[in-house]
Amino acid sequence: MSDHQLTAQEASTRIAEAADLSALEALRVEYLGKQGSISGLLKTLGKMSPEERQEKAPAIQALRQSVADALTARKDEMEAAELEARLATETIDLTLPAPQAPKGSVHPVSQVMDELAEIFADLGFAVATGPEIEDDWYNFTALNMPESHPARAMHDTFYFPDAAPKGGKMLLRTHTSPVQVRTMMAEGAPLRIIAPGRVYRSDSDATHTPMFHQIEGLVIDRDIHLGHLKWTLETFLKAFFETEDIVLRLRPSYFPFTEPSVEVDVGFAIENGQDGKLRRILGGSGDEPGHGWMELLGSGMVNRRVIEFAGLDPDEWQGFAFGLGVDRLAMLKYGMDDLRAFFDGDSRWLSHYGFSPFDQPTLSAGVGAKA
Q: Of 328 and 333, which CB lies nearer to ligand FA5 in the complex structure?
A: 328
Q: Of 221 and 295, which CB lies nearer to ligand FA5 in the complex structure?
A: 295
Q: Of 236 and 322, which CB lies nearer to ligand FA5 in the complex structure?
A: 322
Q: Of 23 and 185, which CB lies nearer to ligand FA5 in the complex structure?
A: 185
Smallest distance from ligand FA5 to CB 324, Å: 6
Smallest distance from ligand FA5 to CB 288, Å: 22
Smallest distance from ligand FA5 to CB 231, Å: 16
* 178 in Cβ contact with 130 (< 8 Å): yes
Q: Of 157 and 177, which CB lies nearer to ligand FA5 in the complex structure?
A: 177
* 180 in Cβ contact with 219 (< 8 Å): no
Smallest distance from ligand FA5 to CB 303, Å: 9
Q: Of 169 and 174, which CB lies nearer to ligand FA5 in the complex structure?
A: 174
Q: Of 306 and 367, which CB lies nearer to ligand FA5 in the complex structure?
A: 306
Smallest distance from ligand FA5 to CB 248, Å: 13
Report the distance separating Cα 316 and Cα 227, nearest Å: 19
Q: Which residues are CB-neighbours of 297 under 8 A, at least 6 positions away?
A: 233, 263, 264, 322, 323, 324, 325
Q: Shortest Cβ contact with ligand FA5: which residue?
A: 325
Q: Of 135 and 216, which CB lies nearer to ligand FA5 in the complex structure?
A: 216
Smallest distance from ligand FA5 to CB 234, Å: 16
Smallest distance from ligand FA5 to CB 313, Å: 20
List residues binding ligand FA5 (CB under 6 A): 175, 177, 201, 203, 208-209, 212, 214, 216, 255, 258, 295-300, 321-323, 325, 327-328, 339
Three-state secondary structure string covering the chain: CCHHHHHHHHHHHHHHHCCCHHHHHHHHHHHHCCCCHHHHHHHHHCCCCHHHHHHHHHHHHHHHHHHHHHHHHHHHHHHHHHHHHHHHHCCCCCCCCCCCCCCCCECHHHHHHHHHHHHHHHCCCEECCCCCEEEHHHHCHHHCCCCCCHHHHHCCCCEEEEECCCCCEEEECCCCCHHHHHHHHHHCCCEEEEEEEEEECCCCECCECCEEEEEEEEEEECCCCHHHHHHHHHHHHHHHHCCCCCCEEEEEEEECCEEEEEEEEEEEEEEECCCCCEEEEECCCCCCCCEEEEEEEEEEEECHHHHHHCCCCCCCCEEEEEEEEHHHHHHHHHCCCCHHHHHCCCHHHHHHHCECCCCCCECCCECCCCC
Smallest distance from ligand FA5 to CB 216, Å: 6
Smallest distance from ligand FA5 to CB 298, Å: 3
Q: Of 339 and 367, which CB lies nearer to ligand FA5 in the complex structure?
A: 339
Report the distance separating Cα 234 and Cα 228, nearest Å: 10
Smallest distance from ligand FA5 to CB 106, Å: 20
Q: Which residues are CB-neighbours of 355 under 8 A, at least 6 positions away?
A: 105, 106, 108, 111, 370
Q: Of 212 and 309, which CB lies nearer to ligand FA5 in the complex structure?
A: 212
